[in-house]
Structure 1
Amino acid sequence: MNAELTFKSGLKDVVPTLFGYIGVGLAMGIVANTSHLSVLAVLIMSLIVYAGSAQFIMISMLLAGSPISAIVLSTFLINSRMILMSMSIAQYFKKDSLAHNIAIGTLLTDETFALSMNKLNQTKQTLSPRWMHGANLLAYVVWAIATVIGCLLGNLIADPNQFGLDFAVVGMFIGLLYLQIITDRSKTLRTQLIVVLFVAILMYFLMRWFPGNIALLIATLCGCGFGMVVTPK
């Protein structure tokens, strides 16, 4: 990763994160196939919803015959963390058009958000719409293709977890966290590790009383506040 903020640079920078999209996308497609969804349905879902965890939940709820209202509410709660991410990244595109901001927000994911936070360390805290579009669009296309391939391969793979596909995103985020820690010079290593430890411990306890996505949202908000407190002025 370098300081370039071109469309081509966005395509190049997002490549390492694509393994996560491919792994989870294949798993999602396989699960969709075993739930008797067609390839076309999987493709449309991936293009419109474009949210891994939400799509897994939607498939299970559709299979269970849940009402549409419950599916919509569940999807909103699962993806509510994107509100925080969008608010965080929006400050870097204040001077850009509404169309650019809508396009960026529409295709923003956990992975491209984390990637953009790492990119800021190389660009003196600036981002460009061209770079974001490059990263977002390639990730979007790869996700859709991976889910379709997974659906096509569904009849050949009974248990996707035996290949470790369920760990793909976890491993990718560990790598992104490591890159963020070693490249962010605005905060000390000690401060960053303290915040990471705080959020991890808080998440552990919150998971006992809240669903995973709600716990993640609370832990994120508390982590932001805690980070402001412990960061040296």
Structure 2
Amino acid sequence: MNGDLDVRSAARETLPTVFGYIGIAMAFGITARANGLSVLEIVLMSMITYAGSVEFVVVSLIVMHAGIGAIVLSAFLVNARAILMSTVIAPYTAHESLWKNIWLGTLLTDETFALGTSKLNYTDRRLSFSWLNTANVMAYVTWAISSGVGGLLGNLIPNPEKYGIGFALVAMFIGLLYLQVVADKSIKLTIQLSVIGIVAVLMYFGMAVMPQNALLLVVALVGCFAGVVMKRVVK
């Protein structure tokens, strides 16, 4: 990464993440097709819902014949972290218009959020609409097309679970976490590792007493609070 905030810089810096999107989106398409969704339904879900982890959850709920209320609530709980991510990014795009900020927040994902927060380390804590929008749109288009391709290939892999295709999403999150830790020099490594440890422990023990979707939101909030406290206490 560098300090440029133009379209060309965004395209170059987003490209490695785009390749990751291809694998995960195809994995989703294959899984959804194997569970009875048509290619059109797969593409529409990717374009409208546009949330990798949520889409995997929705497919599993559809297979279980869950009601629309359960599906909507689960989607909200799983992706509620997007509210937190948008809140973090918003101060750096406050100079843009309201509609531009709404558009940026609509297409913001875990991956473009990670790219954006990493970019802040090279730009004197600044972001531009052109840079973040380019990253968002590249990710959006790649996800939609790749999930459709995965849907077309789904008939060739009737049982994708046995190949561990669903782990592709987890693998990308692990990679993004690593990149965030090594790139962000504004927060001490000990604080970052402590927050990661707290989140891991809470998730491990919390799954025994709470539904996973609700637990994800609760742990995200607790992790954010712990990080803020430690950042203020540890000098």
TM-score, length of structure 2 as denominator length: 0.91
- Given that 2:78 and 2:217 are in contact with CA atoms closer than 8 Å, whether structure 1 keeps it comes out as no
Q: Indicate how the Cα distance of structure 1 residues 25 and 229 shifts in structure 2: closer, same or farther if over 3 A, else same.
A: same
Secondary structure of 1:123's match?
coil
Matched, 1:208 2:186: no
Q: Indicate how the Cα distance of structure 1 residues 62 and 176 shifts in structure 2: closer, same or farther if over 3 A, else same.
A: closer
Q: Distance in 1 between matches of 2:230 and 2:163?
A: 41
Match of 1:110 in 2: 110
Q: Distance in 1 between matches of 2:137 and 2:156?
A: 29
- Given that 1:22 and 1:143 are in contact with CA atoms closer than 8 Å, whether structure 2 keeps it comes out as yes
What are structure 1's unaligned runs of at least 5 residues? none
Q: Indicate how the Cα distance of structure 1 residues 93 and 45 shifts in structure 2: closer, same or farther if over 3 A, else same.
A: same
- Given that 2:77 and 2:217 are in contact with CA atoms closer than 8 Å, whether structure 1 keeps it comes out as no
Match of 1:44 in 2: 44
Secondary structure of 1:209's match?
coil
Match of 1:146 in 2: 146
CA drift at 1:163: 4.7
Could you list the structure 1 runs, at least 4 aligned residues long, displaced by more than 4 angstroms after superposition.
Answer: 161-164
Q: Distance in 2 between matches of 1:168 and 1:61?
A: 20
Secondary structure of 1:172's match?
helix
CA drift at 1:50: 0.6
Pairwise CA RMSD: 1.8
Q: Indicate how the Cα distance of structure 1 residues 221 and 175 shifts in structure 2: closer, same or farther if over 3 A, else same.
A: same
Give matches, 1:51-66, under 5 Å: 51-66=51-66
Q: Distance in 2 between matches of 1:19 and 1:165?
A: 16
Q: Distance in 1 between matches of 2:14 and 2:126?
A: 17
Q: Aligned residues: percent identity?
A: 51
Q: Distance in 1 between matches of 2:165 and 2:20?
A: 9
Match of 1:170 in 2: 170
The C-alpha deviation readout for 1:170-213, integer Å capped at 9, x for no partner, is 23222322222222222222222222222222222222222223
Q: What count of residue pairs does the alignment treat as equivalent?
A: 233
TM-score, length of structure 1 as denominator length: 0.91
Secondary structure of 1:50's match?
coil
Q: Distance in 2 between matches of 1:203 and 1:73?
A: 20
Matched, 1:68 2:106: no
- Given that 1:19 and 1:168 are in contact with CA atoms closer than 8 Å, whether structure 2 keeps it comes out as no
- Given that 2:7 and 2:131 are in contact with CA atoms closer than 8 Å, whether structure 1 keeps it comes out as yes
CA drift at 1:96: 0.6
